[in-house]
Amino acid sequence: MPKIVDREARREAVADAVLRVAGRGGLENASLRNVAEEAGLAIGSVRHYFAGHGEMMLFAMDELARRIDRRVRDHAGRILDPATDVADRRDSVEELLAEFLPLDRARHEEAALWLTFTTAARTRPELRPRAEKLHDGMHELLTRVLNETQRAGGLAEGLDIAVETLRLSALLDGLALQAVLRPDAVRPDTMRKVLRGHLDSLRPKRH
């Protein structure tokens, strides 16, 4: 009997290979040949599952986004649930945002890959729409989280959510960038402290 191959599973395996190759040596090393070798496939097999190199790279970007999305989904559900009390929502907000920071090996690798793809998108037009989509998705999530936290009374009065979303996004991006570039200087406990301090500054003042 001919061997039955799960097409989507094979595409995901190739995407994983792209991410491993890019993580070790950058996108310039993620050629069809190198990716095929990493995945244990012939180049012709990779071409069977992707129309070309560009489609393969876009699918790898999507796979990276899916990994992060799977982790943040549970936190987001608790934050956006009106029945969640203030203390639980506060903890969930911090844990959700921490998923975007390189606090362990897996998240450090993802942050480095995210930086690699988004930097490449500046000069590779085929990657730009997907990079903008990923950025917009994160921006929308942060806006929803802050809006729901404000609705539940967890933010100080008078805060401009649009401005605070931008500030929070810049904070997460900046911490992730510095941790990837200077991991010995910007450690997980420091990033946690900076994030917690920022969130504390947004909460209602105690009288």
pTM of the model: 0.86
Residue labelled with tokens 């802050």: 146
Structural domain of 64: 60-202
Give a yes or no: residue 207 inside a domain. Answer: no
Region of poorest pLDDT, from 3-12, 78-87, 112-121: 78-87
Answer yes or no: do 46 and 73 share one domain: no
Q: In whole numbers, what is the pLDDT of the chain averaged over residues? A: 89
Same domain flag for 22 and 97: no
Residues 46 and 9 in one domain: yes
Q: What is the pLDDT of residue 3?
A: 52
Instruction: Please check whether residue 192 lies inside any domain of the structure.
Output: yes
Same domain, 152 and 121: yes
pLDDT confidence band for 71 (50 / 70 / 90): confident
Residue 134 lies in a domain: yes
Summarize the confidence of residues 179-206 as an average pLDDT.
94
Share of the chain above pLDDT 70, in %: 94
Let me know whether 110 and 38 are in one domain.
no
Q: Domain end: 50, 69, 90, which one? A: 50
Q: Residue 35 belongs to a domain with what CATH number?
A: 1.10.10.60
Q: Are residues 106 and 187 in the same domain?
A: yes
Q: What pLDDT is attached to residue 8?
A: 86
The reported pLDDT for the residue numbered 86 is: 65
Same domain for 76 and 41: no
pLDDT tens, position by position, 85-100: 666 778 888 988 999 9
Same domain, yes or no: 67 and 36:
no
Work out how many domains the chain is built from and give that number. Answer: 2
- Considering the domain architecture, whether residues 13 and 85 belong to the same structural domain is answered as no
> Residue 2: what pLDDT?
46
Is 165 found in the same domain as 135? yes
Tens digit of pLDDT for each residue in 135-190? 998 999 999 989 988 888 889 989 999 999 999 999 999 999 999 999 999 999 99
Q: Is residue 84 over pLDDT 80?
A: no
Could you tell me the sign of the dihedral formed by the alpha carbons of 115, 118, 120, 126, in that order? Answer: positive
